[in-house]
Amino acid sequence: MRVAILGATGAVGRTMLQVLEERGFPADEVQPLASARSAGTTLRWRGRDWTVRMPGPGAFLGCELALFSAGAARSREWGPRAAAEGALVVDNSSAWRMDPAVPLVVPEVNGAALRERPLGIIANPNCATIQLVLPLAALHQAAGLTRVLVTTFQSVSGAGHRGETALDAELAGGHSPDTPFPGPIAGNVIPWIGPRGADGWNEEERKVREETRKILELPELRVAATCVRVPVRVGHSIAATVELARPLAPAAARAALQAWPGISAPDTGADPLPRDVAGTDLVQIGHLRADPDDPRVLHLWIVADNLRKGAATNAVQIAERLVEPAGGRP
C-alpha cells in the first residue's frame, strides 16, 4: 500500500511518519508532499529516503490513503482531488470537521462513525478536543454529562514548527519574526488561540465546543472553553469541570476512566505533566476530585501529547480502522 502524506515536513507530518513506522502500519511506500520550500528534500522512513514533492494533478494516484496536515486551505484544495484520485483522506485540519457529510472521529469514542464517509474524507478533531472527549465519553457513560467547562494550557508545538521556533528564539534571548503568537510566549501565557470573533470567543474555543458536541453526538451539551497558549514545547493540559446528571464519587469516576480505552488514570497521587506525557499516546488523567458544593460535579486534569494522540496517532488509528475493518488496534 502507498500512503501520501501532505504536510510531511511539518510538526504533525513528521510525527505521522514516525507513528506509521512505530505501529507497523501495513504500507510499503510513502509519498511525502509539502510546499515548494521543501520540494526535492528527503525524509527518512523505514530506513529509506523518500523525496518530498509538491502536490499536483495525479499526486494521489496509486495511493490508497492520504494523511493531510498542511492547513485548512490546502485540505480544501486537495481533499476532494485526492478522493477523486482514489485515496481515502484523513485530514488533520479544521477544513472539513463540521461538515455533516464528514465523520469527525476519535476511534475510542465514535469509531463507528467511520462507516459513513460519502466524500471519502474523514476529519481528525482539534488536538485539545481529542484529549477532552475521551474522559468525557467515559464520564457520560457512567453518569450522563450535563455541562463541561474547561481551561486549556496548550503547548507551542500546537502552532506547528513556527511555534516551536518562536519559543526557542525567545528562550535564547531573541525574537522570531515569523512567530504565530500575538506577543512574547517565553515566560508568558496568552489567552488567544486563533482569531477572536465579534462575540469575544477565540477560534480554538469555538472548535472545542462544536467538535465536542459533534463527536459525543450531544448537540445541546453545554460546553465552554478558555484556551490558553503556554511556553511548553509539547503536551497540552486541560483543567476540566464536569457536571453530571447523577452524583459520581471520584473513586467510581476513576474506575470508569481507567476502564476506557486510550486513558490512563492511575490512583498514584502523582499528577500527569506535559513533560512526562510527551512522546506517549495515552490521555492521562490526574487531580481528580469532587466538587466541595455539588456531588454531581467533578474536577479533573487531562494531559496528552498534542502531536501524537492530539494529531498523528489519532489519524493513524483512524487509518488502521479503514484498512483493517475488523477494528484495527486501539
Ligand X SMILES: NC(=O)c1ccc[n+]([C@@H]2O[C@H](COP(=O)([O-])OP(=O)(O)OC[C@H]3O[C@@H](n4cnc5c(N)ncnc54)[C@H](OP(=O)(O)O)[C@@H]3O)[C@@H](O)[C@H]2O)c1
Active site residues: 127, 236
Other beta carbons less than 10 A from residue 279's beta carbon: 13
In angstroms, the first-to-last Cα distance of the chain is 21
Distance, C-alpha 114 to centroid of its chain = 17
By C-beta, is 5 or 285 nearer to ligand X?
Answer: 5
| Closest chain position to ligand X (CB) | 10
Task: For the segment 288-317, give every residue that binds ligand X (CB under 6 A).
Answer: 306-307, 310-311
Binding range to ligand X, per CB under 6 A, among 31-39, 189-197, 214-222, 279-287:
31-39
Does residue 13 touch ligand X according to CB under 6 A?
Answer: yes
Does residue 11 touch ligand X according to CB under 6 A?
Answer: yes
By C-beta, is 53 or 147 nearer to ligand X?
Answer: 53
Residue tagged 486537495 (cell numbers) = 78
Task: For the segment 64-103, give every residue that binds ligand X (CB under 6 A).
Answer: 69-72, 74, 92-93
List the x/- string, 41-70, binding to ligand X by CB under 6 A.
Answer: --------------x-------------xx
List the x/- string, 142-171, binding to ligand X by CB under 6 A.
Answer: ---------------xx-xxx---------
CA distance 232 to 229: 8
Amino acid making up residue 111: G
By C-beta, is 74 or 229 nearer to ligand X?
Answer: 74
Binding range to ligand X, per CB under 6 A, among 22-30, 34-42, 197-205, 316-324:
34-42
> In whole angstroms, how close is the CB of 13 to ligand X at the nearest point?
5
By C-beta, is 107 or 158 nearer to ligand X?
Answer: 158
Other beta carbons less than 10 A from residue 117's beta carbon: 18
Binding range to ligand X, per CB under 6 A, among 1-9, 82-90, 213-221, 222-230:
1-9
List the x/- string, 103-132, binding to ligand X by CB under 6 A.
Answer: ------------------------x-----
Does residue 10 touch ligand X according to CB under 6 A?
Answer: yes
By C-beta, is 308 or 321 nearer to ligand X?
Answer: 308
| Interface residue list for ligand X (CB under 6 A) | 7-13, 34-35, 37-38, 55, 69-72, 74, 92-93, 127, 157-158, 160-162, 306-307, 310-311
